[in-house]
């Protein structure tokens, strides 16, 4: 068995890649939202924390499925990135289907109902995306 086939080495590799992707993907979400996630969380905005937590769970859940379905690191990353873009698309669809109010404004104003729905959409979509990863 080679060094790269060791389960501990593979786990550390997957862990490292997923953390790196998570940081990059959260930075992308930071760019597309009108509020500053970490500043709002630091100030105690529960709605932003719920929405961000849902995004974190969603991204990591997609990668969980990607890891379990693929034996190649590059294939796992590819499916993870594709899944992230689908989650991002879900975010824009959520905004589009709520024309009576702006999702970002409501979350920034700590509307917990909107923050909770945003969290649940991210989590729910991650299960659908994950289940469809081939």
Structural domain for 33, as ranges? 3-132
Task: Name the pTM for this structure.
Answer: 0.90
Q: How much is the pLDDT for 99?
A: 84
112/5: higher pLDDT:
112
pLDDT-based confidence at 79, cuts 50/70/90?
very high
73/94: higher pLDDT:
94
Q: Is the pLDDT score of 95 beyond 80?
A: yes
- 128, two tokens: 């659908």
Residue partners of 94: CB distance under 8 A and separation at least 6: 103, 117, 118, 121
The number of folded domains in the chain is 1
20/7: higher pLDDT:
20
pLDDT-based confidence at 45, cuts 50/70/90?
very high
Q: How much is the pLDDT for 1?
A: 67
Q: How much is the pLDDT for 3?
A: 76
Query: What is the rounded CA–CA span in Å between residue 22 and residue 131?
Result: 20
Q: Is the pLDDT score of 115 beyond 70?
A: yes
- Mean pLDDT (the chain) is 93
- 66, two tokens: 């990607």
């Amino acid at each position: 068995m080679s060094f790269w086939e060791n389960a501990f080495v593979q786990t550390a590799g997957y862990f490292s890649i997923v953390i790196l992707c998570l940081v990059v993907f959260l930075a992308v979400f930071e760019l597309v939202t009108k509020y500053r996630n970490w500043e709002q969380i630091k100030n105690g905005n529960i709605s932003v924390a719920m929405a961000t937590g849902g995004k974190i769970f969603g991204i990591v859940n997609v990668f969980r499925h990607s890891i379990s379905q693929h034996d190649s690191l590059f294939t796992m990353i590819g499916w993870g990135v594709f899944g992230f873009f689908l989650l991002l698309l879900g975010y824009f669809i959520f905004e589009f289907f709520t024309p009576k109010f702006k999702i970002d404004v409501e979350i920034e104003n700590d509307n917990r109902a909107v923050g909770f729905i945003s969290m649940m959409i991210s989590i729910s979509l991650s299960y659908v995306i994950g289940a469809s990863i081939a």
